[in-house]
Structure 1
Amino acid sequence: MSWQVYVDQQLLGSGKVKEAAICSLEGNIWARSAGFEASTEELKKLVATFQHTQDAAQNGLFLGNKKYFFLRSTEDTVYGKWGEDGFVAMQTNICLIVAIFTKPVSAAECATAVGRIVDYLKSAGY
């Protein structure tokens, strides 16, 4: 299965994700949905947030030149908000999955869709 299939069928197909991408931990995009416009630099900063949240907490996070407020993070998940919309980013050993959701979808619903793929990838050694 290609990376694009995960984006198209598992993320967008869930109905809980508006835009999504899968990228390397260096910010290189492997697959993305139409409309996902985050740059390599923005994705690198997002990956860095998993280790150092202070900058994101003070300055927010940018995806596609849109500034999201940093909400919180865990060991492998970062949450951001922009108005009533937001994003969930989760990482595996080799990649980052970023999913943008819009109202009426909640962060928890989006995180469940992303988490399914992350759990599968981690179990497969990715």
Structure 2
Amino acid sequence: MSWQVYVTDQLMTPGEMVSAGIYGMDGGEWAGEGCIRPAPHEVIRLINIIQGKESDFNGIKVGGISFLYVSHDPQEGVILLNRINAPSDKEKYVACGYISKMCVVFGVVAGNYKMGNCSKVSCRLRDYLKQAGY
């Protein structure tokens, strides 16, 4: 199975995301695309926050870039982040991560795009992967 097809066709194709990826629960990248790619330890930290295993929401980084914690929901398996204090609109990001059974679907949008766009597309792919056993 080519995970890259899911990233390219399902997450990136709508045209709003600057980065997207699917990551294993060990933090390893299954497939990814774009300018912000989280390191394995960053993915693991996001998973721990989502699952309620970590309660320190300071200093969250994704791809080496600092993000502010917005919220998370362990029941829904989601985390929302933003970077509103950026030097330019192009560097203002909102990000979301959704946990499935075996992976995390992660997306980032830039500029004036709203979190809802990132969240809707990422959640839809997560739900599909969950139904497929991933």
Root mean square deviation of aligned Cα: 1.3
**Alignment-derived partner of residue 77 in structure 1:** 78
Distance of 1:104 and 1:9 partners within structure 2: 22
- Aligned-pair identity in percent equals 26
Q: Deviations over 1:54-101 (max 9, x none)?
A: 212xx1410111110110011211000001421010010000011011
The number of aligned residues is: 124
Deviation per residue, 1:28-51 (Å, 9 max, x gap):
111010323321111111111112
Deviation above 4 Å: which 4+ runs of structure 1? Answer: none
Match of 1:102 in 2: 110
TM-score scaled to structure 1, two decimals?
0.91
Q: CA contact under 8 A between 2:19 and 2:37: conserved in structure 1?
A: no
How do 1:106-125 and structure 2 match up within 5 A? 106-125=114-133
Check conservation: 1:71, 1:80, Cα contact below 8 A: yes
Assess if the C-alpha contact under 8 Å between 2:25 and 2:104 holds in 1: yes
| TM-score where L is the length of structure 2 | 0.86
